[in-house]
Amino acid sequence: MKYKLSQEEKELESSIERNEWKSVDNKAQYLKKFKSAAKNTLLKDKRMNIRIAGKDIQLLKTKALEIGIPYQTLVSSILHQYVTGKLTER
C-alpha cells in the first residue's frame, strides 16, 4: 500500500528540495533552552483544550521537529516561558 502525501507534506517536501531549510545557530544552546523549559513543564496537573488553525499546528510541529521535542511540549514550553516573563512580546 502506497502512502499518499497531503498537500502540506508535498509543500514541505518541495521546500526541503529547494534547500530552504537552514540550521539554527548555536543548536546546542537552542536545544538546552527548550529542554530546560520542557523539563519545567513536566509537572502538569491540568488539561487545556484549544482550537488552533491547522497551518499553525503544522508550523508548531515543524519547529518541534527541528529542535527534537514533541510539539505539545513545545507549546507548553512557550506558554510557560510567556507567563513567567521569560518570553515577551516585541
The pLDDT value recorded for residue 50 is 92
What mean pLDDT, rounded, does the chain reach?
A: 85
Half-sphere exposure at residue 43, Cβ-oriented, CA atoms within 13 angstroms: 4
Query: Per residue in 16-65, pLDDT tens?
Result: 899 888 887 888 888 888 787 777 666 677 888 999 999 999 999 999 98
Percent of the chain with pLDDT over 70: 94
Is 38 within 8 Å of 77 (Cβ atoms)? yes
Distance CA 65, CA 74 (A): 10
Count of beta carbons in the 10 Å neighbourhood of residue 60: 16
In a 3-state reduction of DSSP, which class is residue 44?
Answer: coil
